[in-house]
């Protein structure tokens, strides 16, 4: 019976509203007060039943809830025969609960949208080449699946053949489609807009990036901040206080001042004194914030993290894979012969045989359009280089020291170019063919796109210091720091050195956030007040982090910081709104005759709706 009544709360609310309308029609349209009172009494009785049941359930766990206050108030209204007040109060209370549930559900819409994006089935390619539709739960790591235009990708994995444009908005929050080719990584829950691809499964179900997003956000929404825990305790003690205040004031007014309205005043205090808006104000801000972050590609692992992140005044960065892409790229090529094409082709042919990161940077730069020749007699040289024979030509590829060891002459122009490239933080690759230098290439890890603008956005959000800690050499670290105008930069640091430095900053009373992506960053992430991991970083870094920037998008860092600051401000706004309404209504009841129970209840429920709508504004937040 109890469950049935709870399920019918919305219908009971509607019936109560209809009965109240009939009551007013009876009173003012046909001047029949007796019929009006019958409708008010029926509306009061059916309305108070679910409220009283909820109050009883709360009392069983020793909690004095707002439901109990309303139940007592309705009983008191019946005693003094103000049926209109009791009917309106129960309806407004039920209608307020309906609005609260409806609007709270909207704040979880971003998460519900995410869960709906997770595909249930996949097209599995069997060993004999046949394709069958199976549930995602039946897939195993290493399986090959086929994804066609318009289908959602059901697993995390690598494309082994095919080409297509993928919409990764569910993972990154970005609406731009990404062209995906062989060897590219794809995520579960993303949409193949066109093309057909075959994917080798690497992660399934909750282990996928998409699955972890849903799990992390759900866990975050279940967590409570210090402010929420304080308000819960406050409400637990405050509610009995309101009951006591109502009783004492009623007795004083009745016996001390012989006030005929003493009981009505006491009952009104019971209804209006409940801190409902205060109790829901902080959670609605936090839940809306977490929902916004999930939609924008920022995962925040709990309400507590939001408040700490809002207080951060120092951000410490790792360099490689955080401020930089973590993948070396060709920055500049200097040519020293008229036959540029020959030098490029032979260099490309030799480097195609190597898995070295610098070799990959060269082959990626020249691409498949460059002619590849047959390479023979390849010899990897100690000291960083390769010697090979291509089309009967001797090819030597290496750094300046290696080239000089082979007695290959470098002109003053070449040495000047090498020095300039090195000052720019480049690694040097020299191509010599038959003892003649054809080209010199500068390769370095490039800054992430938009990172300079991102630092400026963070400065406008009142972040005071930006510090770079890296295991790279000091010269490379200084180049990045100067380019981005960071406060301080330290190179040649081991993981334990970084963690120690963060501890020193915290000892000065600073709130420190650390942004990193690798296993070596885990100690620093754990040491910081707020740890922020790049989404494509290692599992260890992601596990120990408080905030995750999905898909390595560091340009979402300002959104995370700005959202946290806006959330804390929104939370305090809700607290102020709730307290002003509660104490304002109590003062109005005690000091002014115009404040009836139904008017007060209308204003009281209005405060609930106001804090909900104010909190929901965070769903639309965008960093400027």
- Residue in the structure block whose two tokens are 């109240």: 20
- On the 0-12 / 13-18 / 19+ scale of CB atoms within 10 A, 471 is middle
Q: Give the DSSP letter of residue 273.
A: T
622/368 Cα distance (integer angstroms) = 41
Give residue 159's Cα distance to chain centre. 27
- Residue in the structure block whose two tokens are 């982090």: 545
33/45 Cα distance (integer angstroms) = 18
Give yes or no for a contact between 554 and 234, defined as CB atoms under 8 angstroms apart: no
432/252 Cα distance (integer angstroms) = 102
Alpha helices in 61-117 (DSSP H): 66-79, 83-107, 109-117
Residue 125 bridge partners (DSSP): 131, 144
Q: How far apart are the first and last CA of the chain?
A: 53
User: Angle, nearest 10°, between helix axes 557-591 and 303-310?
Assistant: 100
Question: Tokens standing for 64?
Answer: 């004095």
Task: Find the catalytic residue in 67, 143, 318, 552.
Answer: 318
Give yes or no for a contact between 272 and 586, defined as CB atoms under 8 angstroms apart: yes
CA distances to 55, 261, 375, 550 from 265, rounded to whole Å, are 22, 6, 97, 55
DSSP assignments along 548-613, one per residue: EEGGG-GGGHHHHHHHHHHHHHHHHHHHHHHHHHHHHHHHHHHH-TT--HHHHHHHHHHHHHHHHH
Read off φ and ψ for residue 20, nearest 5 degrees.
-65, -40
Helix or strand (DSSP H, E) at 419: helix 412-423
Residue 521: active-site member? no
165/191 Cα distance (integer angstroms) = 9
Give yes or no for a contact between 560 and 567, defined as CB atoms under 8 angstroms apart: no
Question: Tokens standing for 365?
Answer: 């730069």
Q: Which residue in 173, 459, 113, 455 sits closest to 293, CA to CA?
A: 173
What is the signed CA dihedral for 528, 229, 557, 615, rounded to 10 degrees?
-170
54/2 Cα distance (integer angstroms) = 9
Question: Tokens standing for 526?
Answer: 């754990």
Give yes or no for a contact between 547 and 216, defined as CB atoms under 8 angstroms apart: no
User: Angle, nearest 10°, between helix axes 226-251 and 557-591?
Assistant: 0
Question: Tokens standing for 595?
Answer: 């404040």
- In 326-344, which positions are buried (b, 16+ CB within 10 angstroms) versus exposed (e)? bebebbebbebeeeeebbb
- Residue in the structure block whose two tokens are 């002109």: 411
The residues that are catalytic are 318
């Amino acid at each position: 019976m109890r469950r049935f009544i709870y399920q019918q709360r919305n219908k009971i609310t509607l019936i109560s509203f209809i009965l109240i309308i009939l009551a007013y029609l009876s009173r003012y349209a046909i001047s029949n007060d007796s019929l009006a009172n019958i409708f008010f009494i029926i509306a009061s009785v059916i309305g108070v039943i679910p409220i009283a049941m909820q109050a009883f359930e709360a009392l069983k766990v020793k909690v004095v809830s707002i439901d109990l206050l309303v139940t007592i108030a309705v009983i008191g209204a019946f005693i003094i025969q103000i049926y209109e007040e009791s009917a309106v109060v129960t309806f407004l209370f039920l209608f307020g609960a309906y609005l609260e549930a409806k609007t709270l559900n909207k704040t979880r819409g971003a998460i519900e949208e995410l869960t709906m994006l997770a595909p249930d089935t996949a097209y599995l390619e069997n060993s004999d080449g046949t394709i069958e539709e199976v549930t995602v739960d039946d897939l195993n790591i290493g399986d090959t699946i086929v994804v066609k235009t318009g289908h959602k990708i059901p697993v995390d994995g690598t494309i082994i053949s095919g080409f297509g444009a993928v919409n990764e908005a569910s993972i990154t929050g970005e609406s731009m489609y990404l062209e995906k080719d062989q060897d590219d990584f794809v995520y579960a829950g993303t949409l193949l807009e066109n093309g057909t691809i075959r994917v080798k499964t690497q992660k399934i179900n909750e282990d996928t990036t998409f699955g972890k997003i849903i799990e992390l956000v759900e866990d975050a929404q279940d967590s409570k901040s210090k402010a929420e825990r304080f308000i819960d305790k406050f409400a637990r003690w405050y509610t009995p206080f309101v009951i006591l205040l109502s009783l004492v004031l009623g007795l004083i007014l009745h016996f001390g001042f012989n006030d005929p309205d003493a009981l009505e005043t006491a009952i009104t205090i019971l209804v209006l004194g409940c801190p409902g808006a205060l109790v829901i104000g902080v959670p609605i801000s936090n839940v809306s914030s977490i929902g916004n972050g999930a939609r924008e590609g920022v995962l925040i692992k709990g309400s507590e993290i939001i408040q700490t992140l809002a207080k951060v005044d120092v951000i410490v960065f790792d360099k490689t894979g955080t401020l930089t892409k973590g993948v070396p790229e060709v920055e500049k090529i200097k040519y020293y012969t008229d036959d540029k094409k020959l030098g490029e082709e032979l260099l490309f042919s030799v480097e195609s045989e190597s898995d070295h990161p610098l070799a990959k940077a060269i082959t990626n730069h020249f691409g498949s359009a460059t002619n590849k020749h047959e390479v023979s007699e390849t010899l990897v040289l100690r000291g960083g280089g390769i010697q090979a024979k291509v089309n009967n030509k001797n090819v030597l590829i290496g750094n300046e020291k290696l080239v000089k060891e082979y007695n290959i002459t470098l002109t003053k122009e070449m040495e000047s170019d090498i020095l300039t490239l090195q000052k720019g933080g480049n690694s040097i690759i020299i191509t010599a063919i038959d003892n003649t230098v054809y080209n010199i290439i500068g390769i370095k890890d490039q800054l992430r796109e938009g990172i300079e603008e991102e630092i400026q956005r963070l400065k406008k959000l009142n972040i005071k210091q930006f510090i770079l800690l890296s295991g790279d050499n000091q010269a490379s670290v200084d180049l990045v720091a100067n380019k981005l105008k960071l406060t301080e930069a330290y190179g040649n640091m081991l993981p334990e050195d970084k963690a120690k430095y963060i501890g020193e900053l915290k000892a000065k009373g600073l709130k420190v956030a650390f942004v990193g992506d690798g296993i070596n960053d885990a100690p620093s992430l754990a040491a910081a007040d707020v740890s922020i991991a790049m989404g494509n970083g290692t599992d260890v870094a992601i596990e120990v982090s408080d905030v995750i920037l999905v898909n390595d998008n560091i340009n979402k860092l300002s959104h995370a910081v700005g959202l946290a600051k806006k959330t804390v401000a929104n939370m305090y706004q809700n607290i102020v709104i709730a307290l002003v309404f509660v104490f304002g209504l109590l003062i109005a009841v005690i000091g002014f005759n115009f404040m009836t129970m139904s008017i007060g209840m209308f204003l009281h429920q209005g405060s609930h709706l106001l804090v909900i709508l104010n909190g929901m504004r965070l769903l639309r937040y965008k960093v400027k």
